[in-house]
Amino acid sequence: MLSRKRKLFYYKLFSLFSVVRGYNILIIVIAQYLAAKFILAPNKGFMEVAFDGHLFALIFASAVAIAAGYIINNFYDAEKDLINRPKKSMLDRLVSQRTKIMAYFTLNFISAVIASFVSLNAVIFFSAYIFGIWFYSHKMKKIPLLGNLTSAMLVITPFFAVFIYYGNLSSVIFVHATFLFLLILIREFIKDLENIKGDLAQNYKTIPVIYGEKVSKGFITLFAAIAIFVTIFLTSQYDLGYMRFYFYGSILLLLISIFILHKATSKSHYLILHNILKFAIVAGVFSIPLLNIEAILNKINTVL
């Protein structure tokens, strides 16, 4: 039997994992490695990519910086989360605010140190990224639309460190990144609808709070339509291999989401939409190996 003290330690450890959203970070790490192998450096062997020390340092620095970002975001949103997600919030509160701040600064320092093993430019990149996360959590997230755009951009920013590392900035990568950005942006809009009660109580100036749910649904529909257009462009202009079936499925999911959105009247409906978007993003990550590597190599060689 575990002692009371040891149980409390494990509860706090689980609480910290909940605060930093370790499952999200794991997905991002997997996505970075898969993108490196199958999109950015398809001509390199799996082991060559997996054991690239500099790539590992960039991805590890990204993971640590993202963990710190979740901590500072949780710190500023503590009161709002108590209303929107009371059960998760009670778990998160097992770790004190003081401990969270100490962990935040420690993780940011570790991220910068790890980046220094790659280059000075990497240190500057992650320092700017860390500042961007803090500025978003402290100021930007309360600004309607701009806060949503900034949040979505911060999610995909770690991928640009890997893009720059490989020096591969072909058009197909930007189109893929645009599609991912749009999915994340739509999810951010849905989260605002899902969390409207807490946002109202804490005076967060989100689109649903200021302009109402109808206008917010209009924004989501607009960006979903743009995402569908980007998907059609991607599948018609590039040879994606079997991954094209993922994009066909994404169009279907977006159409279903638009239908559910305009019927939605409660938080549970918005939670369903949130999970649909999360599924689409995660499915996209694990569909990367289905890409046509030969076609990507030919495209890269054409650009070069």
For the chain of 304 residues, list the mean pLDDT of each consecutive stretch of 10. Answer: 63 67 87 89 85 94 93 80 68 73 92 94 95 91 88 91 80 84 94 84 82 92 96 89 93 95 89 94 92 64 51
Q: What pLDDT shows up at residue 4?
A: 66
In angstroms, rounded to a whole number, what is the distance separating the alpha carbons of residues 51 and 46? Answer: 9
Q: What pLDDT shows up at residue 21?
A: 75
62 domain-assigned: yes
CATH value at residue 34: 1.10.357
Q: What pLDDT shows up at residue 53?
A: 93
Token digits of residue 209: 């709070």
| Full residue range of the structural domain in which residue 18 is found | 11-168
Q: What pLDDT shows up at residue 139?
A: 84
* Closest to 64 measured CA to CA, from 28, 117, 18: 28
Q: Are 219 and 189 in contact (CB under 8 A)?
A: yes
Q: What pLDDT shows up at residue 187?
A: 94
Q: What pLDDT shows up at residue 87?
A: 65
**pTM of the predicted model as reported, rounded to 2 decimal places:** 0.88
Q: What pLDDT shows up at residue 13?
A: 67
265 and 177, same domain (yes or no): yes
15 and 164, same domain (yes or no): yes
Q: What pLDDT shows up at residue 10?
A: 62
Q: What pLDDT shows up at residue 85?
A: 72
Q: Are 165 and 33 in contact (CB under 8 A)?
A: no
Domain count, the chain: 2
How long a stretch of residues is the chain? 304
139 and 205, same domain (yes or no): no
Q: Are 156 and 184 in contact (CB under 8 A)?
A: yes
Q: What pLDDT shows up at residue 152?
A: 92
23 domain-assigned: yes
**Distances, alpha carbon 218 to alpha carbons 190, 214, 276, in Å:** 11, 6, 18
Q: What pLDDT shows up at residue 176?
A: 85
Q: What pLDDT shows up at residue 14?
A: 66
Q: What pLDDT shows up at residue 15?
A: 67
4 domain-assigned: no
- Which of 143, 168, 193 is at the close of a domain? 168
184 and 291, same domain (yes or no): yes
